[in-house]
Amino acid sequence: MKILTGKSILDQVAYGPLRVYHRQPFQLDFLSHLSSGDEVLRFQTAQRRAVLQLADLYDQAALVVGPQAASIFAIHAMLLEDTSFVDSILSIIQTQYTTAEYAVQVAGTSYSAAFAAMEDPYMQARSADVKDISRRVVNILAGTDAGAVQGDEPAILVADDLTPSETVQLDKSKLLGFITRGGSTNSHTAILARTMGIPALIGVDFDESWDGQLAILDGYNHCVYVDPAPELLSAMEAKRRADLEQEALLQGLKKKPNVTLDGTEIQVYANIGGVGDVGLVLQNDAQGIGLFRSEFLYLDGDDYPTEEEQFAVYKRVVETMAGKKVVIRTLDIGADKQAGYFGLDHEENPALGYRAIRICLTRRDVFKTQLRAILRASAFGTVSIMFPMIISVREVRDAKEILEECRAELKAQGVPMGEVEIGVMIETPASVMIADELAQEVQFFSLGTNDLTQYTLAIDRQNPKLDAFYNPHHPAILRMIRQTIEAGHRHGCWVGICGELGADPVLTETFLRMGIDELSVSPAAILPLRKRIRELDLSRPAASEPLDGA
């Protein structure tokens, strides 16, 4: 048995025979017997055909992995029309009298080398995309084909590298997983494979003589066992069966309601950090977005995002959700989320410092830019606004007043807007204690249990030394959650949880018995949570009472 390590892109196991794939090397003529003008025309025709192929691939991929992951093929089409890339191809043809395919290959190699040499891992990963589009155009020009990637039997594919287009066209019924020598976890090939649920290991220094040998790809432990010992094989077979059963079970829950055996229904929404997560939200069948952490828009850049930039992002998210609720949390910067251009002072206790709503209420310009962008996006779907880190009724009234000012300005400008629900995050003990008063100001509460735990237990959530003390199951937290739900309901507010605790299956029953209306969790937690909800029967006595012991 041989064991090799790599980087896993999915926590799954695959086993079966290895199939080593060799890409056919190109035999390209250097000098052309045509005029440069004719070679330029050949290139332009092939370029147009490649763009059409990419549009087909986009459609095909969008069906398999959703529009977000499929967008790589739109990026390929853009790269293929990039003026400096095209100019360098034309210049090689015109100055060296080469064939179009030779020029594409040379320009592609030098562009992909330039990307590979960049420091930013994202840009490095684009090197494979340039290789992919160059290969596509050369294949069209030379009438060649890369050769069959897969054989007739299901196998673990082994290759130096796989391009995104090869990956999306892989026949999943014959693919157990893949292993590549090159590639990065940021590459589009990795992103596509993850989205398609293909176990894969990259950066493996494989030996071509392995072709046909039996292997186990262990995505949990980032390794591949070639010619595994029989006992390991049976352990992995059992693990794989369990993975598949679990996956099939979860997939079967799509489009099913989040309803308990006794008929109690709640909403299961998703938490997102940006527009890139919306594909996963839809794939996992969330009923809405319960927390859009808008601060990532501010953390990504090196200057304040403009109203237009923010509007474009919110509109895209809202439009993609097609009428489903999108709760946008206003800027929650400060503490562990710092953006240099804000010029925030160094603080002794940043978690207790100048952050979130405290910044927004004192930097009205920044706050108004965001609120205007959200209000404008509200014309395109169902938007709710949520204010973070609230500790007083005064803050909520001030925030609402600024919101109304923005609404009046936009109305005067004739800008269309939709109805917008207003809510607050309950993530400080103060907000729990005044929940009755807060509930009279808003339409909903969302419990931020990450911060609520930190502030209630006086435990810095960033300090790993305190992990053993950070106990979100502490009865103080659970009683606060119950108190918040009761106060919200007394005044007609719906109440949800958007902190990590919302996805904890041990507490799902407790939350439902408390009367929670919504749980907002990471996209991957949606279907497991739905499964848990559908197994519960609230008409039976509770198995345990976590609110008791302290």
Tell which positions 35-54 bind ligand PEP, by CB under 6 A: none
CB of 498 to Mg ion, least distance (A): 9
Shortest distance in whole angstroms from residue 468 CB to ligand PEP? 20
Are 131 and 108 contacting, i.e. CB atoms less than 8 angstroms apart? yes
When CB distances are held under 5 to 8 angstroms depending on the partner's kind, the choice from Mg ion, ligand PEP, none that residue 391 binds is none
Q: How many residues bind ligand PEP (CB under 6 A)?
A: 10
Q: Please give the structure tokens belonging to residue 99.
A: 């064939």
CB within 8 Å of 268: residues ≥ 6 apart: 258, 286, 287, 518, 519, 520, 521, 526, 529, 530, 533
Could you tell me whether strands 214-218 and 289-293 are parallel, antiparallel, or unpaired per DSSP bridges?
unpaired
279 touches Mg ion (CB under 5 A): no
- The verdict on 499 binding ligand PEP (CB under 6 A) reads yes
Give min distance, CB of 291 to ligand PEP, in A.
6
Which range, of 150-158, 413-421, 448-456, 532-540, touches ligand PEP by CB under 6 A? 448-456
Rg of the chain over all Cα atoms, to the nearest angstrom = 27
**Candidate residues 126, 293, 325, 482; the one interacting with ligand PEP per rule CB under 6 A:** 293
d(CA 156, CA 149): 11
Q: How far apart are CA 519 and CA 483, in angstroms?
A: 17
450 counts as binding ligand PEP under rule CB under 6 A: yes
In the bound state with Mg ion, the residue whose beta carbon lies nearer, of 96 and 392, is: 392
Residue 184, binding choice from Mg ion, ligand PEP, none, Cβ under 5 to 8 Å by partner class: none
Structural contact between residues 238 and 52, judged by C-beta atoms closer than 8 angstroms: no
Is 504 a binding residue for ligand PEP by CB under 6 A? The answer is: no
CB crowding 209-235: b at 16 or more within 10 Å, else e: ebeebebbbbbeebbbbbebeeeebee
Q: Which of 188, 222, 406, 493 is catalytic?
A: 188
Residue 523's binding partner, choosing from Mg ion, ligand PEP, none, with beta-carbon cut-off 5 to 8 A by kind? none
* Long-range contacts (CB closer than 8 Å, 24 or more residues apart) made by 373-376: 373/307, 373/308, 373/310, 373/311, 373/314, 374/310, 374/314, 374/328, 374/330, 374/420, 375/403, 375/406, 375/407, 375/410, 375/415, 375/417, 375/420, 376/307, 376/311, 376/314, 376/315, 376/410, 376/415, 376/417
Give the number of C-alpha atoms closer than 13 A to the C-alpha of residue 482, restricted to the C-beta side.
Answer: 16
Least CB distance to ligand PEP at residue 319 (A): 24
CA 439 distance to own-chain centroid: 32
Looking at beta carbons only, is 122 or 469 nearer to ligand PEP?
469
Given the residues 360, 406, 493, 498, select the one marked as catalytic: 498
Q: Identify the residue among 219, 305, 334, 448 touching Mg ion (CB under 5 A).
A: 448
Contact status: 474 vs ligand PEP (CB under 6 A): no
Q: Which of 107, 485, 498, 527 binds ligand PEP (CB under 6 A)?
A: 498
> Is the CA virtual torsion 104, 133, 182, 225 positive or negative?
negative
Q: Which is nearer to ligand PEP, 219 or 502 (CB)?
A: 502
Known catalytic residue: 498?
yes
CA distances from 253 to 186, 195, 393, 435, 529 (A): 30, 18, 41, 35, 10
Q: Which of 108, 125, 100 lies closest to 49, judged by CA? A: 100
Look-up of token digits 């002072």:
345
Contact residue for ligand PEP among 451, 460, 517, 518 (CB under 6 A): 451
Determine if 451 is a binding residue for Mg ion (CB under 5 A).
yes
According to the binding rule CB under 6 A, does residue 518 interact with ligand PEP? Answer: no
- Closest contact distance (angstroms) between CB of 382 and ligand PEP is 20
Instruction: Report how many residues bind Mg ion under the rule CB under 5 A.
Output: 3
> Which of 165, 180, 428, 449 contacts ligand PEP by CB under 6 A?
449
Tokens 């949520």 — which residue? 386
| Contact of residue 277 among Mg ion, ligand PEP, none (CB under 5-8 Å per partner type) | none
Whole-number Å distance between alpha carbons of 137 and 376? 42
Q: Which stretch binds ligand PEP (CB under 6 A): 120-128, 176-184, 404-412, 446-454?
A: 446-454
Q: Could you tell which of Mg ion, ligand PEP, none binds residue 499, using a CB distance below 5 to 8 A set by kind?
A: ligand PEP
The yes or no reply on residue 277 touching ligand PEP (CB under 6 A) is: no
Catalytic residues: 188, 498
Positions touching ligand PEP (CB under 6 A) are 291, 293, 332, 427, 448-451, 498-499
Positions touching Mg ion (CB under 5 A) are 427, 448, 451
